[in-house]
C-alpha cells in the first residue's frame, strides 16, 4: 500500500509540473495579412498570368527544352531590368541568372523554383493555361506550384535593380525544368556551380509554405519552413512460381504470397516511429496556439507525452505519420496476362519515403526480411537517401526566420518535414544549407488542388512573397 501511495504521489507531482509549465505558456494567435495594395497585386497577377499561359508540362519520355525557352522569352519581357543587367545562363531549358554583388568572393545565395508543371487533366472550372483572374484568385496549372515562386524572386530582383541596390554577394536565380518528373535539370545547374568551384552559402527552394490550421485544435496561419527532405524509394517485390492452369491451383501461388506480404505491411508498419528535431520544434512552437488546455499541455510537455504522441499521431492522420517514420505505399501490381493462367512471376511495386533515422539501407533491409517469409525477392529500382537537415540554430534558418518575421509579423514560424520531393535534394550535399519555404499563403482547399483540378492562388499573397525575397537578399549584409 505504501509503495502505491509513493507511486501515486510521484505521478501527481509529475502531472502538477506539467500543469504549471502549461500555465506559463501564454496564448497566442498566428494570423496572415494579405496585401492591401490593389495596384501592386493586380499588376503582379498579370505578370504571373503570362507565365501560366506558357504550357510547361514536363514528360519523362518526351523532353522538350524549347517550350521552356519560350517561357524564358516571356520572362525577359516581364523582367527586362534583370535580363539587361544580369548574366544569363541556359542549360537544356534550365535557367540561371547571376545578379552580381559587391563582394563576388563571398559565398553567393541561390533562389530556386522549377518552371515545369504537372499535366492538367480533368474538368477545370477555368482553362488551366489561361491564368484567369476571378474573385481575387489566379487560376491555372503552376499558379501555386510553383510559377508564383519563380515570379516572386524575379520580381524582387527587378525592383531592387531598379532601385540601384547592389547586394552584398552574388545572387543567383535558378529554375529547373524537370522537377515534377524527378529529372536531372537541377543537377545540371548544380554542375554549373561545381565546374566553377562556386559553393553557395544557402539555397532557398520551395517545400513548406504558409498554411492554415496545421492540425486539429490549432487555428491560424503558420509559416512551415522545411528543414529536411525525406529520402525516396521505388522498389519491386517479386514472387516466382511454376505457373500452370488455374483449374488446378496449388497453394501459395505468386499472387497469394504477394497478397500476404502486402497485408502484413498494411496491418502494422515495420518502420520505427520517432521524433526528429523538426517535429519537436514544430509541436513546441504550436503549444501557445492550441485552442484547448489539454492539447497545449501535451505540446508544451513533450518530455512527458512524447511516448503517447508516437502512438496517437500516426492514428490521427497520414500526414502526421509521414513526419514520424519511413512510409511505404503499394502502387502497381502485375500477374499473368490471362484470367485462367497462374503466373510464373508476379510483382507489386511500392514507393517509400525514408526518414533520416531509418534511411534507405535500414528500411529496405526490413522489407527484405519480411519478404523472405513469403519467398519473395526485393529489387531496388530508384532509391535515394534523406537529405541533411538545416540547422535550427544556424545562421541560415535564423535569416529565414527574420525575413518571415519582418514581412509576416503576425505569423508563427514552424520547422517542417518535407515529405515530398524538391530540387533541393540535388543541392543538399554541395551547399551549407537548404531552406525549403515558398512565401505564399494557401488555404487547405488550395493545398489540396496543388496537383489536382482547379489549382489557384490568392493574388494578394504575391506582394508579401516578393518582399520576403527582397528581405532575404538584404539580410546578406549581416553576414
Going by the DSSP 8-state scheme, the letter that residue 476 receives in this structure is G
User: What's the number of CA atoms in the CB half-sphere (13 Å) around residue 469?
Assistant: 34
Q: Which residue has the cell 552574388?
A: 170
Name the residue with cell 568572393: 105
Strands 87-91 and 341-342: unpaired
255-258 long-range Cβ contacts below 8 angstroms, 24+ apart: 255/335, 255/343, 255/346, 257/374, 257/375, 257/376, 258/333, 258/346, 258/347, 258/348, 258/374, 258/376
Report the first-to-last Cα separation within the chain, whole angstroms: 63
Q: In this structure, are strands 133-134 and 434-441 parallel, antiparallel, or unpaired?
A: unpaired
What local confidence, expressed as pLDDT, does residue 315 receive?
72
Written as nine digits, the cell of 265 is 505491411
Predicted local confidence at residue 137, as pLDDT: 98
pLDDT at 215: 86
b/e burial code for range 51-74 (CB count within 10 A of at least 16 → b): bbebbbbbeeeebebebbeebbee
Q: Judge if 38-228+388-478 and 231-384 fold alike in CATH terms.
A: no
Query: Chain centroid to CA 453: how far?
Result: 20
Cell of 93: 531549358
Q: How far is CA 92 from CA 71, 171, 185, in A?
A: 13, 21, 8
Q: Is the peptide bond before 166 cis (omega within 30 degrees of 0)?
A: no
203-233 b/e (C-beta count within 10 Å ≥ 16 → b):
bbbbbbbbbbebbebbebbbbbbbbbbbbbb
**Cell triple for 358:** 531509418
* Nearest CA-CA partner of 213 in 321, 314, 319, 302: 319
What pLDDT, on a 0 to 100 scale, did the predictor assign at position 310? 87
Question: Do residues 394 and 225 make contact, with C-beta atoms less than 8 angstroms apart?
Answer: no
Among the listed residues 275, 269, 331, 273, the one whose alpha carbon sits nearest the alpha carbon of residue 298 = 275
SS percent in the chain: helix, strand, coil, step 5: 40, 25, 35
pTM to 2 decimal places = 0.92
Contact of 422 with 230, CB cutoff 8 Å: no
CATH number for 231-384: choose from 3.40.1410.10, 3.30.930.10, 3.90.45.10, 3.30.70.360.
Answer: 3.30.70.360
Between CA 233 and CA 287 the distance in angstroms is: 34
User: Residues for the chain: how many in total?
Assistant: 479
For the chain, the domains span 38-228+388-478, 231-384
Residue 375 has φ and ψ, to the nearest 5°, of 55, 50
Mark the ranges of the chain whose per-residue pLDDT is less than 70: 1, 316
Angle between helices 302-316 and 2-23 (to 10 degrees): 80
The CATH class given to the 38-228+388-478 domain equals alpha beta
Amino acid at each position: 500500500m505504501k509503495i502505491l501511495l509513493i507511486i501515486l504521489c510521484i505521478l501527481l507531482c509529475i502531472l502538477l509540473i506539467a500543469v504549471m509549465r502549461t500555465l506559463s505558456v501564454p496564448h497566442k494567435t498566428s494570423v496572415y495579412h494579405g496585401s492591401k495594395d490593389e495596384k501592386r497585386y493586380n499588376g503582379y497577377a498579370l505578370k504571373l498570368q503570362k507565365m501560366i499561359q506558357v504550357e510547361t508540362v514536363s514528360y519523362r519520355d518526351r523532353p522538350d527544352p524549347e517550350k521552356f525557352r519560350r517561357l524564358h522569352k516571356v520572362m525577359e519581357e516581364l523582367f527586362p531590368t534583370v535580363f539587361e543587367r544580369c548574366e544569363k545562363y541556359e542549360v537544356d531549358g534550365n535557367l540561371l541568372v547571376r545578379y552580381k554583388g559587391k563582394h563576388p568572393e563571398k559565398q553567393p545565395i541561390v533562389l530556386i523554383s522549377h518552371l515545369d508543371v504537372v499535366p492538367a487533366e480533368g474538368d477545370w472550372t477555368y482553362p488551366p493555361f489561361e491564368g484567369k483572374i476571378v474573385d481575387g484568385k489566379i487560376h491555372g496549372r503552376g499558379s501555386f506550384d510553383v510559377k508564383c515562386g519563380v515570379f516572386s524572386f524575379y520580381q524582387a530582383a527587378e525592383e531592387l535593380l531598379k532601385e540601384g541596390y547592389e547586394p552584398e554577394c552574388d545572387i543567383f536565380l535558378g529554375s529547373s525544368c524537370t522537377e515534377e518528373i524527378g529529372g536531372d535539370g537541377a543537377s545540371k545547374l548544380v554542375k554549373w556551380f561545381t565546374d566553377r568551384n562556386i559553393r553557395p552559402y544557402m539555397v532557398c527552394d520551395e517545400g513548406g509554405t504558409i498554411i492554415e490550421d496545421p492540425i486539429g485544435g490549432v487555428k491560424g496561419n503558420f509559416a512551415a519552413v522545411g528543414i529536411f527532405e525525406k529520402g525516396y524509394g521505388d522498389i519491386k517485390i517479386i514472387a516466382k512460381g511454376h505457373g500452370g492452369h488455374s483449374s488446378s491451383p496449388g497453394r501459395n501461388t505468386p499472387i497469394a504470397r504477394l497478397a500476404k506480404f502486402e497485408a502484413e505491411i498494411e496491418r502494422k508498419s515495420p518502420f520505427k516511429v520517432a521524433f526528429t528535431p523538426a517535429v519537436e520544434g514544430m509541436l513546441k512552437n504550436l503549444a501557445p496556439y492550441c485552442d484547448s488546455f489539454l492539447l497545449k499541455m501535451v505540446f508544451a510537455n513533450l518530455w512527458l507525452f512524447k511516448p503517447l504522441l508516437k502512438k496517437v499521431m500516426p492514428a490521427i492522420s497520414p500526414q502526421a505519420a509521414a513526419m514520424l517514420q519511413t512510409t511505404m505505399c503499394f502502387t502497381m501490381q502485375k500477374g499473368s496476362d490471362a484470367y485462367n493462367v497462374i503466373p510464373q512471376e508476379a510483382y507489386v511495386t511500392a514507393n517509400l519515403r525514408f526518414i533520416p533515422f531509418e534511411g534507405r539501407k535500414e528500411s529496405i533491409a526490413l522489407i527484405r526480411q519480411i519478404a523472405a517469409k513469403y519467398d519473395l525477392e526485393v529489387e531496388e529500382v530508384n532509391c535515394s537517401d534523406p537529405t541533411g537537415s538545416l540547422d535550427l540554430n544556424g545562421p541560415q534558418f535564423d535569416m529565414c526566420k527574420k525575413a518571415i518575421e519582418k514581412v509576416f509579423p503576425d505569423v508563427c514560424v514552424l520547422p517542417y518535414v518535407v515529405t515530398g520531393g524538391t530540387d533541393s535534394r540535388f543541392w543538399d550535399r554541395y551547399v551549407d544549407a537548404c531552406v525549403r519555404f515558398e512565401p505564399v499563403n494557401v488555404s487547405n482547399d488550395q493545398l489540396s488542388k496543388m496537383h489536382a483540378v482547379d489549382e489557384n492562388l490568392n493574388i494578394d499573397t504575391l506582394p508579401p512573397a516578393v518582399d520576403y525575397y527582397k528581405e532575404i537578399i538584404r539580410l546578406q549584409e549581416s553576414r
